Amino acid sequence: MADNGTVDLRLDQAHSARMYDYYLGGTTNFPADREAAGKALAAFPSILATARINRRFLQRSTRFLAEQGMTQFFDVGTGIPTSPNLHEVAQEVTPSARVVYTDNDPIVLAHARALLHSHAEGRTAYAHADVTDPADLLATAEISETLDFTRPIALSLNALLHFITDDRVDGGAHSIVEHFKAALPSGSTLTITHVTPDFDPEGIARLTGAYRAAGTPGQARQHADIVRLFDGWDLLDPGVVPTHRWRPTPEDQAENVTDAEAACYAGIARKP
């Protein structure tokens, strides 16, 4: 954000949040985003399915966690609002659930109002923050005013960490995740989805190449590397699996998605 409080949306540059919005059929994207998304689509035609399947996991896993009794949700790398958003799913199960969203993209900040409309009893907040500085992010007032860090919190890092290349932060994506894990109390959960090259290495290499060319470097990670993000926490069944295989509903199963189309792993673990 600029010093005078205005937001520079940099509409001349493609942004990952707006490219993802385009894949999901949203309207919060601009010519530079659509041009870059078109190149990503040419490189990896399944990207539309990948995004849709990831979003379905997000909704399914949020419902699962709310039904398991989680009442506080902390979503980092939220993206542009796409209904149903996480707080809508959580507060449908538990109307008093509290939700904090964060993202570092000014366009998400500009649309955050759509994320803040809560059920009467619940509460949602938005914090503009960068995950590469987790200490700074966790110090944000909106987070401490909304979430109680002495009670379990459901942290989600969905389709985010593949934008954190290991050369970008000391210790890479793993050190960021460890910082969050240390800040959360026992009983908290960690949900992650992450792009992998495991099922279509060439397609994913083309996809990361298209993103790099659009100014957004990324790093797809293999299964063992993604499992390591959960180290020390108890992985819930069925473990770290392609997104569409994580406790699918009959409706999900009817879609007959392939692992290569899903292109992401998903997992949820609980802090002992």
Ligand X SMILES: C[S@@+](CC[C@H](N)C(=O)[O-])C[C@H]1O[C@@H](n2cnc3c(N)ncnc32)[C@H](O)[C@@H]1O
For ligand X, the binding residues in 207-266 under the rule CB under 6 A are none
- CA–CA distance, 18 with 23 (Å, rounded to integer): 9
For ligand X, the binding residues in 189-208 under the rule CB under 6 A are none
The reply to whether 158 sits near ligand X by the rule CB under 6 A is yes
The reply to whether 28 sits near ligand X by the rule CB under 6 A is no
Contact region with ligand X (CB under 6 A), list: 38-46, 112-120, 125-133, 184-192: 125-133
CA dihedral 196, 271, 98, 106 (to 10 degrees): -40
The reply to whether 140 sits near ligand X by the rule CB under 6 A is no
Closest to ligand X by CB, 12 vs 120, is 12
CB of 76 to ligand X, least distance (A): 6
Closest to ligand X by CB, 151 vs 172, is 172
Contact region with ligand X (CB under 6 A), list: 59-67, 101-109, 178-186, 249-257: 101-109
Is the link from the previous residue into 272 a cis peptide, with omega within 30 of 0? no
- CA–CA distance, 141 with 236 (Å, rounded to integer): 31
The reply to whether 124 sits near ligand X by the rule CB under 6 A is no
The reply to whether 21 sits near ligand X by the rule CB under 6 A is no
- CA–CA distance, 126 with 75 (Å, rounded to integer): 10
What are residue 154's DSSP bridge partners?
73, 189
CB of 255 to ligand X, least distance (A): 17
Residues in CB range of 194: below 8 A, 6 or more apart: 159, 161, 162, 220, 221, 226, 229, 264, 265
Q: Which of 32, 63, 64, 103 binds ligand X (CB under 6 A)?
A: 103
Q: Which of 33, 88, 105, 261 binds ligand X (CB under 6 A)?
A: 105
Coil, strand, or helix at residue 81?
Answer: coil
Cα 111–Cα 113–Cα 114 angle in degrees, nearest 5: 75
CB of 108 to ligand X, least distance (A): 5
Contact region with ligand X (CB under 6 A), list: 35-43, 110-118, 157-165, 243-251: 157-165
According to DSSP H, which parts of 68-190 are helical? 86-93, 106-110, 134-138, 141-146, 172-183
Closest to ligand X by CB, 53 vs 184, is 53
For ligand X, the binding residues in 41-60 under the rule CB under 6 A are 54-55, 58
Among candidates 45, 27, 44, 33, which has minimal Cα distance to 9? 33
Using CB under 6 A as the criterion, which residues of the chain lie in contact with ligand X when the complex forms? 16-17, 20, 54-55, 58, 77-79, 103-105, 108, 130-132, 158-160, 163
